[in-house]
Structure 1
Amino acid sequence: MKVDWSPLKHELGEWRAAGLTLPLWWRDDDAVAPTESLARLESLSATSGVPVHMAVIPRDATRSLADDLSDQFIPVVHGWAHVNNQTEGKKAEFGMGRDAHAARLDLQQSMARMRDLFGARLAPMFVPPWNRFDAALLPTLAEFGIDALSTYLPRQTATPIAGVTQINTHIDPIFWRGTRGLVPPDDLVAQTVALLQARRTGMQDNAEPLGYLTHHLVHDADIWEFSQQFMQEMCDGPVRLYRHDTKGFS
């Protein structure tokens, strides 16, 4: 696949000239068991040097996933069962209007299951399925020791509640509402450049790590190839890699 990366290279050059550094992180969703796709993701992560925050579905996660998940991955919590609890509107498991008691029980068992599987390896970040979350449940996250919430698009506030930081993703290569293949590469490059320009000019918060969001179980060849090139191009720029565990930035 031939991608015109020149607009991104130019923008990263502007960052160097300004003495700026871009915080970067990677999140992948929906893991429950070891698969060939997961092994391929691990290889891509190792080659690029960028660790993957693996959003694991607690209810369905297997012991073999916990046993086989290498240090290339940082396990985080992906809802409870990844089911839609909305009676109308857009899908969400922990969306607006859900019964607070039922949501609390799901969050409690999510953390219990993930701690049982991953122990001290677990990074206390919550990733709500479909990237939708009722802000009224934020105190419950903090109660259960979750210190970060990750959805999609630039965050509106760094700390939506005391003790919980918002760390979103911003670039998704999958054309979910169309072919479910790769978004046109030129569009992805333009989107990335626009995000970087907004940060460089102070219009968006550059303290928030820029997040690349993947779903290894549904990747086709083009998505794999674009992701490999994307990480290579980004890591050639003035970036520092973020990991939501004790290591922080590297």
Structure 2
Amino acid sequence: MIVDWTPLQAELAQWRAEGLELPIWWRDDDAIAPTEALDTLTALSEAVGVPVHLAVIPKDATDELAGNIAECFVPVVHGWAHVSHTPDGVKNAEFGAGRPAGTALQDASEGLVRLKSLFGDRVAPMFVPPWNRITPEIVAGLAEAGYDAVSTYNPRQTALAALGVAQINTHIDPIYWRGHRGLVEAETLVSQAVTLLQDRRAGLTDNQEPLGYLTHHLVHDADIWEFSRQFLLEICEGPVRLYRHDGKGIS
């Protein structure tokens, strides 16, 4: 795959010229068990030197996953069962409107307990709601449920989603979900990345929030893997700081 990275390289050069630093992180969703795709994700993370915050579905996570997870992964909580509770015609959400907040928060709490039983202290207390959707009422209870961060999608509006809960989102997703579910056109993704960086440099969005790359290893084709490899190598050529959520404080 040949990708024109010139626009991104030029933008990163501008960051260097202005003495700026870009925090970045990587989140991958829907892990349950060891698979060949997870092996590929492991190899890619190790090759590019970027840790992966692996969003694990607690209800279905297996002992085999816990026993074979590589050091490059930071397990985080991906809902409870990744099952939508919305009525027909409403976008999928496990922690969205139409569900009692108390019931949802009980699931969130049990999700953290479940992952800690599997991964111990390696679990970061970050909550990743399936489909990146969660109501403010549920967010407000996450700290009491044991979390210090929530992660959805798009640039955050505030550093804290609720008292004691940091908002640490993802911003670039290479999958064309509403179409063929393959790779979004590489030129479009590069342009999107450049715009995100320009907005940060101009102070339009919060550069204290790590720029998040979002993947879903179980559904990747060869083009998505290859674009991800190239993108991560290119972005790491810039003045970046790798972010790893360890649950020891709010970033």
2:177 maps to a residue whose letter is: W
Q: Are 1:54 and 2:51 counterparts?
A: no
Query: 108-117 or 190-199: which moved more?
Result: 108-117
1:20 partner SS = coil
2:14 aligns to what SS in structure 1? Answer: helix
What residue in structure 2 maps to residue 7 of structure 1?
Answer: 7
What is the alpha-carbon distance in structure 2 between the residues aligned to residue 29 and residue 18 of structure 1?
Answer: 34
Aligned to 2:210: 209
Gaps of 5+ in 2: none
Task: Output the amino acid matched with 1:153.
Answer: N
Aligned to 1:198: 199
Q: Kindly provide the CA deviation profile for residues 19-59 of structure 1, in whole angstroms up to 9, marking residues without a partner as x.
A: 00000000000000000110110110001000000000000
1:76 is paired with a residue whose SS is: strand
How many angstroms apart in 1 are the aligned matches of 2:38 and 2:87? 33
**2:74 equivalent to 1:78:** no
Equivalent runs, 1:152-163 vs 2, <5 Å? 152-163=153-164
> Residues of 1 paired with 2:176 and 2:139: CA distance?
30
| Partner AA of 1:78 in structure 2 | H
Q: Deviations over 1:168-214 (max 9, x none)?
A: 00000000001100000000000000000000111110000000000
CA contact (8 A) 2:95 2:135 kept: yes
| Count of matched residue pairs | 248
Shift of residue 247 of structure 1?
Answer: 8.2
> What is the SS of the residue equivalent to 1:43?
helix
Q: Secondary structure at the match of 1:64?
A: helix
Equivalence map 1:92-103=2 (5 Å):
92-103=93-104
Q: Does residue 181 of structure 1 match 2:191? A: no
Alpha-carbon deviation of 1:129? 0.1
Task: Please state whether the residue corresponding to 1:25 is helix, strand or coil.
Answer: strand
Deviation at 1:107, TM superposition (A): 1.4
Residue 239 (str. 1) matches residue 240 (str. 2): yes
Distance in 2 separating the partners of 1:157 and 1:237:
25
Conserved? CA contact 2:133–2:152, under 8 Å: yes
Q: Do the aligned partners of 2:176 and 2:183 also contact (CA within 8 Å) in 1? A: yes
> Do the aligned residues in 1 keep the contact of 2:23 with 2:207 (CA within 8 Å)?
yes
User: Alpha-carbon deviation of 1:70?
Assistant: 1.0
Cα 1:247–1:50 shift into 2, 3 Å: farther
Alignment of 1:90-169 (within 5 A): 90-169=91-170
Amino acid in structure 2 at the alignment position of 1:231 = L
More displaced 10-residue stretch of structure 1: 170-179 or 99-108: 99-108
CA distance in 2, matches of 1:145, 1:107: 9
User: What amino acid maps onto 2:8 in structure 1?
Assistant: L
Shift of 1:162: 1.3
**1:87-131 residue CA offsets vs partner (Å, 9 max, x unmatched):** 141100000231123212211211111111111110000000000
Q: Give distance in 1, aligned partners of 2:39 and 2:248.
A: 23
**CA pair 247-230 structure 1, distance change in 2 beyond 3 A:** farther
**Could you say which residue in structure 1 is the equivalent of 2:230?**
229
Structure-1-length-normalised TM-score: 0.97
Q: 1:68 corresponds to which residue?
A: 68
- Report the Cα distance in structure 1 between the residues aligned to 2:193 and 2:105, rounded to whole angstroms: 36
Give the RMSD, CA atoms, in angstroms: 1.1
Question: CA separation in 1, counterparts of 2:45 and 2:74?
Answer: 12
What percent of counterpart residues are identical? 64
Secondary structure of the equivalent of 2:159?
Answer: coil
Query: Is the contact made by 2:85 and 2:98 (CA closer than 8 Å) also made in structure 1?
Result: no
> 1:160 Cα shift?
1.9
